């Protein structure tokens, strides 16, 4: 990505900041960025202190979904209180049940050990929303913006159903599959204004944002990366939005996020590490910007244009993806790639140059490959494990 330019040749000249490229010759994994090189402890999954947040999860009991107040994480199990049993309300949306209890009541329940039961982590459901239209932020962490050359954060729609904390994703043979770990948020009510945001309970959860960089480089708006065009196509689709099993509702969302760490591991190797407090646009700003442009802004998607939200509101089926830190595979290309795109004649020539670039990147095998395991982790938001699998009838 790159700073906005008005002349097309200038945009081509800075295409290097958008496209992914291989590391130095002979290297098979992405180079760590500056902040990755610093000493940073691996985010060990833990439970947010109850004086700062309440943590929830969900499990299936037959054909009913129970919402749990989590009181302890114990490796392969959690200790929790079944709020659905107490409220006699079973709902796929955890907020329907959480809304029956205020913070004081939840803390009081947590002090009653006779109500605590043990649940297997493997049985916990994903806590993502039920809708498919979500709000995403690009280059919202300074270090990630620096690695791709775009200083300003921007928004775009992501059209994907949330999957769970144990998932798979297909690596298409002609794609460049990349990872991103993010803090996501959802709300207990429809948001029509920032006043609604202020009044709402905010549920934070760990999420992944998988993308196909081959699609992105072919569809991005070279003259205005901040328009977000190209990103909906590259980041939408099946299995590209895994959600963790912990829904954390903080007492003060802003101060809580300062303490949240997120990280990505590929086959045990750390690729990303970030602190959520480093976001450029905070959660309230993202919501406000989305609502301000609800009736006027659209984004390119599948050769048409779509709004971020269907009307001037963010409903409870939508999530906000707040962006990722540095360390993605996506990096600057070499001078030869830049030259081939700059010298291409017309759009067909550009696409031909980009096709050659994508094929060369596929051969280098630096993006996610069949058999890889991606683990997203956070100190307070739990973990997600995603296995990369081949497309039916083939793959890499």
Question: What digits encode the pLDDT tens for the residues 120-175?
Answer: 999 999 999 999 999 999 999 988 888 877 778 999 999 999 999 999 999 999 99
- 177 exposed, middle or buried (CB, 10 Å; 0-12, 13-18, 19+)? buried
Q: What angle do CA 314, 320, 321 make, to 5 degrees?
A: 160
Cα separation, 17 vs 127, in Å, equals 35
Q: Give the pLDDT confidence score for residue 156 in this predicted structure.
A: 94
Q: What are phi and psi of 18, to 5 degrees?
A: -100, -50
Q: How far apart are CA 320 and CA 115, in angstroms?
A: 33
300-334 pLDDT tens trace: 899 899 999 988 999 999 999 999 999 999 876 66
Q: Which residues, 6 or more positions from 329, have their beta carbon under 8 angstroms from its beta carbon?
A: 20, 30, 176, 178, 179, 213, 366, 367, 368
Tokens 């979500």 map to which residue? 134
With a cut of 70, which residues of the chain have pLDDT below it? 1-44, 222, 332-334, 338, 393-396
Sketch the domain layout of the chain as residue ranges.
8-23+128-381, 53-123
Q: Which CATH architecture has domain 8-23+128-381?
A: Alpha-Beta Complex (3.90)
Using a CB cutoff of 8 Å and minimum separation of 24, what contacts does 110-117 make? 110/50, 110/69, 110/71, 110/81, 112/81, 115/81, 115/82, 115/86, 116/71, 116/79, 116/80, 116/81, 117/79, 117/80, 117/81, 117/82
Q: Are 59 and 254 spatial neighbours (Cβ–Cβ below 8 Å)?
A: no
For 231, residues 6+ apart whose C-beta sits below 8 A from its C-beta are 136, 138, 156, 158, 211, 216, 220, 299
CA distance 212 to 234: 5
Q: What is the pLDDT of residue 373?
A: 98
Report yes or no: 128 and 207 within 8 Å, Cβ to Cβ: yes
Distance separating alpha carbons of residues 217 and 359, to the nearest angstrom = 13
Give the per-residue pLDDT at 222: 66
């Amino acid at each position: 990505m790159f700073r906005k330019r008005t002349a097309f040749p200038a945009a081509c000249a800075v295409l290097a900041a958008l496209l992914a490229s291989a590391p130095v010759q002979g290297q098979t994994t992405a180079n760590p960025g500056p902040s990755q090189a610093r000493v940073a402890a691996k985010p060990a999954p833990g439970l947010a202190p109850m004086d700062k947040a309440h943590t929830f999860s969900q499990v299936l009991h037959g054909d009913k979904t129970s919402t749990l107040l989590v009181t302890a994480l114990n490796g392969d199990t959690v200790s929790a209180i079944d709020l659905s049993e107490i409220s006699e309300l079973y709902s796929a949306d955890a907020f329907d049940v959480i809304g029956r209890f205020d913070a004081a009541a939840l803390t009081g329940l947590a002090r009653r050990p006779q109500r605590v039961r043990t649940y297997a982590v493997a049985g916990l459901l994903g806590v993502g929303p039920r809708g498919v239209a979500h709000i995403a932020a690009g280059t919202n962490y300074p270090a990630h913006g620096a690695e791709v050359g775009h200083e300003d954060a921007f928004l775009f729609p992501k059209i994907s159903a949330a999957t769970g904390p144990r998932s798979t994703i297909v690596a298409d043979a002609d794609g460049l599959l990349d990872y991103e770990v993010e803090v996501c948020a959802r709300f207990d009510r429809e948001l029509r204004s920032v006043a609604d945001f202020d009044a709402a309970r905010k549920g934070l959860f760990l999420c992944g944002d998988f993308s196909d960089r081959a699609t992105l480089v072919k569809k991005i708006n070279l003259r205005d990366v901040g328009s977000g065009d190209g990103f909906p196509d590259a980041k939408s689709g099946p299995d590209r939005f895994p959600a963790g099993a912990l829904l954390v509702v903080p007492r003060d969302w802003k101060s809580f996020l300062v303490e949240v760490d997120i990280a990505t591991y590929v086959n045990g190797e750390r690729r990303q590490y970030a602190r959520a407090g480093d976001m450029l646009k905070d959660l309230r700003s993202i919501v406000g910007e989305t609502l301000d442009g609800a009736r006027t802004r659209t984004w390119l998607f599948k050769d048409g244009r779509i709004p971020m939200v269907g009307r001037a509101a963010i409903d409870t089926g939508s999530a906000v993806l707040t962006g990722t830190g540095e360390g993605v595979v996506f990096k600057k290309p070499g001078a030869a790639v830049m030259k081939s795109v700059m010298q291409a004649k017309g759009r067909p020539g550009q696409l031909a140059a980009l096709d050659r670039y994508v094929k060369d990147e596929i051969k280098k095998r630096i993006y996610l490959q069949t058999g890889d395991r991606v683990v997203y982790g956070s100190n307070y938001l739990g973990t997600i494990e995603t296995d990369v699998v081949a497309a039916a009838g083939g793959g890499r």
